[in-house]
A and B are shown apart, each in its own frame.
Chain A
Amino acid sequence: MNGFFDIPSDLQHSWSGLIGLHLREGLLPVAAGLLLALPLAQLCVRFRWLYPPVLGVTTVLYAVPSLAFFVVLIDYTGQTELTVMIPLAVYSLVVLIPAIVDGVRSVPEETLAAATAMGFGPVRRYLQVQLPIAAPAIVAGLRVATVSSISLVSVGALIGNQGALGNLLAAAQKYDRPELAVNSVLTTAVLAILCDAALVLLRILLTPWMPRGTGDRREPAVRRARPEPEGATR
């Protein structure tokens, strides 16, 4: 394991620097995806006919390999982080939109009727009733999107040193230093696990009102809807 943390200088970052870069390239797209998914999902809840086409479009976009995205984007955004993050943000929609729609729809009919009858306007009702009750489902979606995004960042290596920890994989080949590949895989995995744990903690903090022991109740539905992770092929 000699030189495990000895990062080749052409990567222009230390190990911890790569971690910071990786987190930024992995998490910013999920945050952007969430910002985009919230209004889209609300439209899908409001206009039911909109949901199937939106779902269809996000699924098709998810099926587009990231390499194809890069080819198109590189003309506009160049060999930058942004070129990596845009596809990742698009991919996250396929998980986040259904998670939010299902979560908002899972609010009991009586609860909604009661809110309306008590004089909640549509905006107040959305912010104070529907969204908080959908929080567990949304966090469940975020967990899947985050872990998947963190693993996908590595493909950025394909457009030249924009894959953060993924760049170590390329370096391992180039310099014949397999320990760098091990470093890359392990560090990425640990990052994914830590981010997932942080989101679980967030869910627990957000939902003291959920019956204990059933906190993961909503997740299987989301998991079923989730496309298989296919980071390796991108």
Chain B
Amino acid sequence: MIRIDSVTKRYPDGTVAVDRLSLDIPDRSITVLVGPSGCGKTTTLRMINRMVEPTEGTILLDGEDIRRQPVTALRRSMGYVIQNAGLFPHRTIVDNIATVPRMLGWGRRRARERAAELMERVGLDTSLAQRYPYQLSGGQQQRVGVARALAADPPVLLMDEPFSAVDPVVRKGLQDELLRIQEELGKTIVFVTHDIDEAVKLGTMVAVLRRGGRLAQYAPPAELLSAPADGFVEDFLGADRGIRRLSFFPSAALELTTDAVIPADAPAERIAASDARYLLVTDSDGRPLGWTEPGEPAAGGIRTDRLLPHGRPFVPGADSLRVALDCAVLSPTGWAVAVDDDGRVTGVVSQQTIAEAIRAAHAQGRTGKTEVAR
């Protein structure tokens, strides 16, 4: 565990970057430091590997003051990922990744094998090994940055706005990749960002810092969204924190109905017999084709070319209530389509039913039984 114990950083000109900050950073999880610019989040991160020395206070790594070992040894035991990757432009990808192992005295061959292994782990084609950084896209460079930080298998990973400089699609890919890697490796990650969505998505714990380097709130993301400590945190979370909080509720418990689901070749009587406002038409495999109104089908059955689009379906086991609600809101009929992993319809659910599930989830959340589904 990394314990930051009432640490203050004051610069000679009197500026206070970090003000009596105390944080316990749990092992094998992602702790996110988030806040507006000037809140001291990067300074805090850089105090952990002593690129910045605190004015007051101590930082303990597994109970031992980080000042008790040589600074280079400390840094080599902590991977560091930076915005824009900060790769060495004059070294090939494989040599960039092998930097720390080589400094630690590994043989060239072993270091390169390790580098190749890491390239695969972070989703890079090993054919890029002999390229130079300028030949890679921003997203690929950032993956190299992550691989380089992981090269010597350090227990701690410090990440300073690593995904801020790439476009949103690439960023989402990198975030998902990080979560996947973390699941496999279980590092102690300290992650700095100014993006609250990124913090909520990645963090096991989130520390919200305010300008002047003071801690505003330190809590798991679900708690942050449901119970912001004060107006600053609430503002920082943004106007849609209610909607975002739904990401933490599973959609598995939603009550689905199959009354309004019919196959495309259903007999006319069955269609006429339905009292549903809309019917979801499926193909012979049970996959959704689109919505129709019971009065609509002419003689000769359903015209599959005249259906309303069914919109994006959700998977009850895997998706959150937020996704389910989103599907319902986007659906032309106001009903969300639920499918199984193979894309076969398992039922439909109305906005009203989802709203009831949200109320129930909130009630449960208030009694402290929040179930995190991600």
Interface residues of A (CB under 8 A from B): 108, 110-121, 129, 132-133, 135, 207-211
Contact = CB atoms under 8 A, between A and B. Distances in A.
A129 B99 CA distance: 11
Contact of A210 (B88, B100, B134, B158): B134
A114 B72 contact: no
Q: Rank and list the top 4 A-B pairs by shortest CB-CB distance, nearest first.
A: A110-B86, A114-B86, A117-B80, A119-B75
B55 interface: no
B89 A118 contact: no
B76 interface: yes
A73 B216 CA distance: 70
Interface string B303-318: 0000000000000000
Nearest to A131: B90
Given A119-B73, A121-B72, A114 B90 contact: no
A116 B83 CA distance: 15
B51 A113 contact: yes
25 contacts: A108-B86, A108-B89, A110-B82, A111-B88, A111-B89, A116-B51, A116-B75, A117-B51, A117-B78, A117-B80, A117-B82, A118-B75, A119-B71, A119-B72, A119-B100, A120-B72, A120-B103, A132-B90, A133-B90, A135-B90, A209-B90, A209-B91, A209-B92, A209-B133, A210-B134
Interface string B85-109: 1111111100000011001000000
Contact of B76 (A112, A118, A210): A118
Contacts of A113: 51, 82, 86
A110 to B, nearest CB: 3
Given A110-B84, A114-B145, 7 more contacts: A108-B84, A110-B82, A110-B86, A111-B86, A117-B49, A119-B72, A209-B89
B192 to A, nearest CB: 13
A119 to B, nearest CB: 4
A108 B158 CA distance: 20
